Amino acid sequence: MTQKEKAKLVPVSREPALLTERDADKSPVLECIDLGITFGGLKAVDNFNVTIGRTEITGLIGPNGAGKTTVFNLLTKVYQPTHGTILLNGKDIHDLNTAQVNRAGIARTFQNIRLFGELSVEENITVAMDTQMHYTMPEGIFRLPRFWKEERVMHERAMELLSIFHMEDLANAKANSLPYGAQRRLEILRALATNPSLLLLDEPAAGMNPSETAELMENIRSIRDTFKIAVLLIEHDMNLVMNICEGIAVLNFGHVIAKGTPEDIQNNPEVIEAYLGKQKEA
């Protein structure tokens, strides 16, 4: 990397974090500093500055095409930022690839569900634990004691995760046989199986009915409280966002136009004009 390129990655200024009281005395799990990416001269995301507390639930909202999923792709290194810095647990992740970022502590779900349809529900979860398996290839081939010990641990862990959504009875069902809402929940469990410190949820309530969405809200809170992790979610269901998020950032045309508490965002004229007003009209 050239000196000019390195200079782009040096934090220029850090805006005050919107940390909850319980996180105020802890270092943040994520800091995005002047983060951005350009595609062929188009600034898809520019000067994205957000800090997330260690156990904070944060919403990322904005109109379609605002750059929300692009931010997730930057955080998980699907895209390499054109400029800016991403600090995960205080460490710059500029040189990490997608798999390394996952091992470092970021897990995500997608707008379009990505499951192994022909595998069982339990197998979908245990596959996500591959980096936690330590038996050797010969131990796996010949089914030696260490293999069986780790398989048992993974089974117990998978069932523990399934209990979050009361899905234990579906452990042996094929993933592609599940209803849409259950597939959404399974994808969240697959992400949790990697033991993240930051969970990225891309429209987790998409396709869910009001009852399922209400249950999802409680599940997300429970996940945060049980695993002591932070959650950053993209969502168009404003009832969910305003009731579950402690901090919200609003994107419009790749720029953060507002940050604050749900009350701050609901009363922000620029946000109402760019997004919330359109939501009410729709």
Position 151 confidence tier, pLDDT thresholds 50, 70, 90: confident
How deeply is 168 buried, as exposed, middle or buried, from its count of CB atoms within 10 A (0-12, 13-18, 19+)? middle
Contacts of 183 (CB under 8 A, 6+ apart): 113, 115, 175
% of the chain surpassing 90 pLDDT: 77
For the chain, give every domain's residue range: 23-105+195-282, 117-190
Q: Mean pLDDT for the chain?
A: 89
Instruction: Please tell me the distance from the alpha carbon of residue 199 to that of residue 53, in angstroms, as a whole number.
Output: 12
Position 2 confidence tier, pLDDT thresholds 50, 70, 90: very low
Position 9 confidence tier, pLDDT thresholds 50, 70, 90: very low
The conformation of residue 203, written as its DSSP 8-state character, comes to S
3-state class (DSSP) for residue 45: strand
Q: Mind listing the pLDDT tens digit for each residue in 232-267? A: 999 999 999 999 999 999 999 999 999 999 999 999
Contacts of 281 (CB under 8 A, 6+ apart): none
Residue 122 neighbours by CB distance under 10 Å: 22
Q: Mind listing the pLDDT tens digit for each residue in 78-132? A: 999 999 999 999 999 999 999 999 999 999 999 899 999 999 999 999 999 987 7
pLDDT of residue 11: 39
Q: Specify the pTM.
A: 0.88
Cβ atoms of 101 and 165 within 8 Å: the answer is no
CA-based end-to-end distance of the chain: 47
Cβ atoms of 61 and 201 within 8 Å: the answer is no
The dotted CATH code for 23-105+195-282 is 3.40.50.300
> Average pLDDT for residues 122-143, to the nearest whole number?
85
Position 136 confidence tier, pLDDT thresholds 50, 70, 90: confident
- β-pairing verdict for 83-88 and 91-92: antiparallel
| Nearest-10 crossing angle of helices 210-227, 180-192 | 10
- Strands (E) across the chain are located at 30-39, 42-52, 57-61, 83-88, 91-92, 106-108, 198-202, 230-234, 247-252, 255-260
pLDDT of residue 24: 64
Torsion of CA 103, 105, 110, 113, to 10 degrees: 60
Instruction: Please tell me the distance from the alpha carbon of residue 104 to that of residue 6, in angstroms, as a whole number.
Output: 22
* Tokens of residue 2, six digits: 């050239």
Residue 164 clears pLDDT 90, i.e. is over it: yes
Residue 13 clears pLDDT 80, i.e. is over it: no
